[in-house]
Each structure stands twice: as C-alpha cells, then as structure tokens.
A and B are shown apart, each in its own frame.
Chain A
Amino acid sequence: MTRPDTSRTARRAGARAISVLVIVAIVVIAFVVRLVDIQVVSAATYTDEAKDRRALEATVYGTRGDILDTNGQVLADSVERYDITVSPRVALGYTDMNGPVEPYLAGIASVTGQSVAELDATLRADPDSDYAVLSKGLTLDEYLAVHELGIPWVIGVRVPGRTYPNGAIAGNIVGFLGTDEPLAGIEQMMDQCLAGQDGLVSYERGADGVRLPDTEVVEVDAVDGADVTLTIDRDLQWTVMERLAAGVSMTGAEWGQAIVVRIADGAIMSLADWPTFDPNEFQTATVTGSRAFTTPYEPGSIMKPITFALLLDQRAMAPETPVDATWIQDYGEGGTLYDFGWHPADLTAAGVLAISSNTGTANLAQLIPDELRRQYMLNFGLGDVTDVHFPGESAGILGEYWDERTRLNVSFGAGIATTIMQIAGAYVGIGNDGLRLPLKLVENCTYPDGTVVEPERAEPIQVIDQYAAHTTIDLMEGVQAYYLGTGTDVDLPGYRLAVKSGTATVAEGGVYGDKSTVSYVGLAPAEDPEYIVVTSLGLPYGGTSDLAAPVMRDIMSHTLTRYRVPPSTGERTHYSLYW
C-alpha cells in the first residue's frame, strides 16, 4: 500500500472549503443585497404594488341627518339607494357567448320602469367603456329584483338617497337636495348640521374575491350628520295646507299662504304655501320654495293694528279718541285718499279700525313724527328678514325716506312691502304683551352622540307696553264684532277672537291693476292670545278680504282644538265706534 499524499489531500480539502465558503458568501451577499433592495430601497414601490393588487378602498357614507317635525315625525329621511352599473365592453362582449343583451335589458326595464330602448342606448353609447350607469336610485327591493335576474355583467353600487315620506305637506319648508348639494329650504339652511362626512376604509381581497378577514383598516372615520327638529307640527300642517288649498281653489286665487304661530315662543307651528311641490318630485315642480318668506307684497289694512299699537304706546290716542274720518280727504302734496266707500265721518279710533278707514288711520298716524313711526315698524321686525333666515328670504321694503304720499300710505299698509312672516312676527309682539319674540322654525339640531344644539336667536324686543298691546287686541276684538254684524265668516263660538282684514291692489309694472291680495289675521283666545293665524290669497281680480276670512277662521278653529285651548272666559271690552 502506498501512503496517501497527506499534504495534497489537505490542500484539496482546504480549497474545497474555501470555494464552498466563497459560494455561500456570494449567495448570502446576493440575498442581502436583494433583501435590502426589497425592504429598503424599493420598499415603497413594492408596498404600493402589493396594495394595488390586494387592497381595495371603499367609501363609507356618513348618513345625512333627518328632518323631523316637532313631534318627531320624519319629514326628510336618508335612505340607501342603488345604481345599476355596467361595463359596456364586458356586457357587449359577453353576448358572443350568451346571445343578445335585449332580453336582459327587458328584465331590468320591467323592474325600473325604463324602456328597453333607453337602456340599450345607454349601453351602446360607448361600447368600449368600462363604466356606464343603466339605472339610478333603485330601492332595495327593486335592486334585489334586478339581482335575481342573474345578469352576470351588472353591478349594484350603493349610494345615499333622500326621501320625503310626507310628500308635499312640508315641501315648501323642507326643500330638497340636488345631485351634489342642497338647493332649497331647511336642507339648504341647516346643511352644516345635517351633512355627514364620508369615511374611507381599505381592506384586502383574496384571489377568489372574498374579503380577507381582519384586513379592514379604517382610514377616515365616517361621521353621521345631526337631525334637525322643526317647530312645524306635521298634522296641523296637513290640515292648514288642505284648507288653504281648498280656499285657493274655491276663490280662484293664484296663490295662497297660511301660517300658525305659537305666541309663547314665536314658534311657527304651520307654514303653508299654495301652490306647493312634492320634494320627491322636485325635478318636475314649477314652484320650489316658500313665497311666505321670499315674496313680499303690500300688506294693506292688516297693517292698521300695528299703527294703532304704536300710537297707543305713545299715548297719542285712546280707543275712543274722536277722529275726522271723512271718507275722501285731500292731503295737498300727499294727494287724495279714499276709503272703500262712504261711511259716517264721526268715527272714534275704535271705529276707524273697525270700519278700516284709510283717511282716519292716516290722520291718527300724523299725531307722531314719521321717524318715530318708522322706528316702531323696524322694532316690529318690518324692513328686515325674520330671525329664521330662510334661504332667499326677503326683507320687504320699508323706505328710508317717506315722501308726502308714502308717509300717509304706510299707516294703512300701502307704500311698503312685507312678507306674511314679517306680519306674523309683528303680531307676536302685539299678542305677547308688547314683547316681540323672534320667529323660530328650527327647534334644535341633535347630534348622533345626543348633543342638542339650539340655534342662536335674536334678543326679544319690548316694542310697546302692556297697555298698548292689550288695548290693540281689544280694538281687534271690536273689529270681529263689527264684521260679524256685516255677515263675514269670522265667528268662532266659545272663543274670543281678535281679527283684522287687509285688501291691497297689486301694482304690476308700477301701475295698480285688477289683481288684489286679501289677507286676514286672527289672535285667539283674545283675553290671553296663544296663537296667531295669518292667511293671504293672491286674487287675479279685485276681491274683498271676506274671501280670506273663513280660511283663517277654520285654521284657528283647528289649532285651538288640536292644542286643547280651553274656551274663552270674560267679555270683551266695548268701545264706542262713533262720537
């Protein structure tokens, strides 16, 4: 046997070991380099790529708050709706395997009420596109019906929707939402309170399309909007609207307005405009708003009690102050004033109001300076928007400087323009012992966590003193007694009612024409008024205020019984109408 060459063997073994080590080192270095590249250098790129492949993002809608009436009845509600989307490229490509799309479209059309031609046109508008919306705003049931058709190329997308369960009942107040933003009414006015904030979640999806458990990450929290509670009473609102609509229909009026205000806090319990609209169908509506807030008009004689109230507060007159109320009077530069017809000239102040003499009222008004009268009118809330700040609300017109004619006219409601809301607001002052509380339409804003925020309100103004307020109401009770004598429908058995009518000829293009606006205001029970009802009708002819009287009376009758107001006590104060 030959002895192995130990030194050579050792050298070979050493070389082998070194080469293995070198190879291992090279591999390790390669791995390390790659690792650093993946984990550090290109980390962001790979993360994004991976995320794009696996992670999906989804919007979580913050629910818009509801609009509720004073009793919690829902006037506007957030709901889920579904859009039926389709990839025209896929849908039309799919027909090669499964035949034409028409039968499928017919199935969708039978659910959505669209025509097959309409759906077909949408689908073929851009055949290479990957996105088209076949049908929008389906209810859950409709969507499920579409889903059950088993069409593989349609995808339902959940979108937030808005519905108004009570339709036109408070459409004029609630307003509506456009495609992107609120466009009218409370929806617009209280958007900051109602609007929710959409959130964002991301999650990962497996190869089979199943959402991987525990991969959902909330990137942005969705915040639900707050509910807005109104002062409106839905059931009263319906009664008022139906009665007003009937009144408009029976008199042939072009429009009508009726409002009910609770004197104790200035809350608007009902506000009806006619014609009105159903916010569920606002796209086809011809009227979308509230004339009561947005359209001022010459109030006419409904203004006289306000003039009387400020004169009484100044002690410039008493209820039985004799007045020269000749039915036609010449005022020099102020022109000639007429009453509606001949009447005895020897009226007391009470008689001037009962007979509604323009000349008598103008003569009384001149007992105090114009500037002082104007200041009272501002304090009564005329010439400025109400504290409601309704979208598009008009401040009316109360001129800064009155010429010789205007200074006479404003005393009986001509030469100025007011909204019915301003008139109602002024009467809150008269009915509430002279303290005018600002009108309110929004009770509060209730956040999902239970926080209740009441809107800031203007300070009440003591416009006139108690004596002036009570005496004005007494005089208005005298008006009712006088009207009853003339056969006007203002009888309210069991309750004492203070009223005043107003008739104004409508000026169009600066010229008084055939049209007229007739109004009626009522406060009851007169011994301590709790509710004010004001109604106005826009007539295409020269009608009298008697037409508006039964509308006001019926609404007041409903209001008093609905709110369980006990029948009146005591007797009215009688004042002589003549001297």
Chain B
Amino acid sequence: MNTAQVPRIRPAAPQQPARRFEIVTPAAQRKARPKVLHAIVAVVGALAIVGLQLLISIWITGGQYRIAELQDEQRALVRQAESLSEQLEIRGSTQYLGYAATSLGMVPARSLFTLDMSTGSYFALPGTSDVLGCAGGCGLAANELVKGLPLPQRPSAAAAAEPAAAGTADPGAGEAADAAVPTIPGAEPETVDPDVPVAAETLPGVVTR
C-alpha cells in the first residue's frame, strides 16, 4: 500500500464512522471472480436447452398423434376391406352366380357330352342339376345373404322392355317389376349401396369392449 495516499490531516467535519478495515483483493483473486457474462451464458444456455427440449417434445408428441391418426385410418381401411371382401364372398356364392347367370340369359347345360378323339364319336351323359327346369332360380339351396342383391342385366333386356321378367329369377316375385335394377327376391332392397366406397375419414372411432 502506498503510504503517500494515506491522508495525514483528517478534515474536521463531517464525522464519519472510521473505516476500521478494508478488504483488499489481489489481482489474481479479482481475476478469479465469476464473471456476469458467464452467468448469463449459463442461464441462457440452460433456458435454451429447456426450451429446445420442450420444442422437441412438442414435435415428437405431434408426430405421435399423427401416427395414432394414421393407425386409426389404417384400422378403418382394414375394416372397410374386410367388409368389401365379405360382400365379394356373397357375390361369389353359388346361389348369386346362379341368379346372375339366369339374369344374363344363361341356362344350365341339359346334357354333358364326351368326345372320343380316337373314333370321332361322342356320347351324351345323362343328368342335369336342373331337372325341375327352373334354370338356377329354384332357390332350393337357400341363401339369406343374397336376397335383395342387385342382378346384372342382359344388355338387350336393359332397355326396360321386360326388366322384371329378364331380371328376377323367381317368377313369383312380381313386386320386383317396379325396380329399375332387378334384385334377387325375398328381402327388402338394400338401404346402403355397397358399391360406394366409404371414405376412411368418415369411419367413426368405434368403442371396443
């Protein structure tokens, strides 16, 4: 300490409490003091990390919701596919094919022929499943599921000349005569058109139990 700087004459007034001691910090110690800048950097850094984490979390959560949404959509589409394949199976049933073939003007074979290539001769085997002559429309082997399904029409018959006669396989089904598209008799017409694809978005979340 430089003694020249110590005042030799104390002024008379004002009276102040005498400083009894003074903390004197060496330069090294001053240097070692924490700097405000560091504190700011640390705090800002910590805040940035927290903020970033929050953002990433929000982003990931958003992604998770998107995944959940897509999974729901996938479930809805799977359900729709199952429903359509169920309808396809019904339309592939022997009864529906029989009615449809009849509607298109086909008739069951009356006889089965075998051709002998070695002699050029042929013979007819007996037997038709349609011994009653109702051309696939007897409905002997019933199928509740095909009732009311629309039938394909013969192009020539489509011109409304005899829509019912050409279209309905059962002659007793007179009420089908009014219908523009012939259907298989025996049930109410369909209320929902299965040919219209169902948009996945319209499928509601179904409660499972």
Chain A residues with CB under 8 Å of chain B are 1, 58-60, 73-74, 77, 79-80, 82, 110-111, 113, 139-145, 147-148, 155-158, 163-169, 210-211, 213-214, 234-235, 238-239, 241-243, 245-247, 249-250, 276, 278, 280-281, 489, 491-495, 550, 553-558, 560-561, 567
CA distance A216 to B161 in the complex (A): 60
Number of interface residues of B (CB under 8 A): 51
B132 at the binding interface (Cβ < 8 Å): yes
CA distance A169 to B141 in the complex (A): 6
Q: Which 6 A-B pairs have the closest CB atoms?
A: A167-B143, A554-B127, A213-B64, A557-B127, A245-B140, A141-B192
CA distance A157 to B86 in the complex (A): 19
B130 at the binding interface (Cβ < 8 Å): yes
If A79-B82, A165-B90 touch, does A561 touch B192 (CB 8 Å cutoff)?
no
A58 (CB) vs chain B CBs: closest residue: B208
Interface pair A166/B82, CB less than 8 Å apart: no
B53 at the binding interface (Cβ < 8 Å): no
Interface pair A493/B125, CB less than 8 Å apart: yes
Interface pair A278/B80, CB less than 8 Å apart: no
- Report the stretch among B26-34, B163-171, B199-207 that lies at the interface: B199-207
A140, A156, A278: residue with the most chain B Cβ atoms closer than 10 Å = A140
A3 (CB) vs chain B CBs: closest residue: B17
CA distance A148 to B196 in the complex (A): 15
Contacts of A211 in B (CB 8 A): 68
CA distance A230 to B126 in the complex (A): 28
Interface pair B142/A113, CB less than 8 Å apart: no
Question: A-facing mask of B155-195, CB < 8 A → 1, else 0?
Answer: 00000000000000000000000000000000010011010
Contacts of A158 in B (CB 8 A): 206-208
Interface pair B82/A278, CB less than 8 Å apart: no
B125, B140, B145: the one within 8 Å of A246 (CB): B140
Contacts of A560 in B (CB 8 A): 125
Contacts of B57 in A (CB 8 A): none
Question: A-facing mask of B82-93, CB < 8 A → 1, else 0?
Answer: 110010011011
CA distance A164 to B142 in the complex (A): 11
Interface pair A141/B208, CB less than 8 Å apart: no
Interface pair A243/B129, CB less than 8 Å apart: yes
CA distance A250 to B138 in the complex (A): 13
Interface pair A166/B204, CB less than 8 Å apart: no
Interface pair A145/B191, CB less than 8 Å apart: yes
A167, A169, A558, A567: the one within 8 Å of B127 (CB): A558
* A364 to B: closest C-beta gap in Å: 33
Interface pair A238/B68, CB less than 8 Å apart: no
Interface pair A147/B129, CB less than 8 Å apart: no
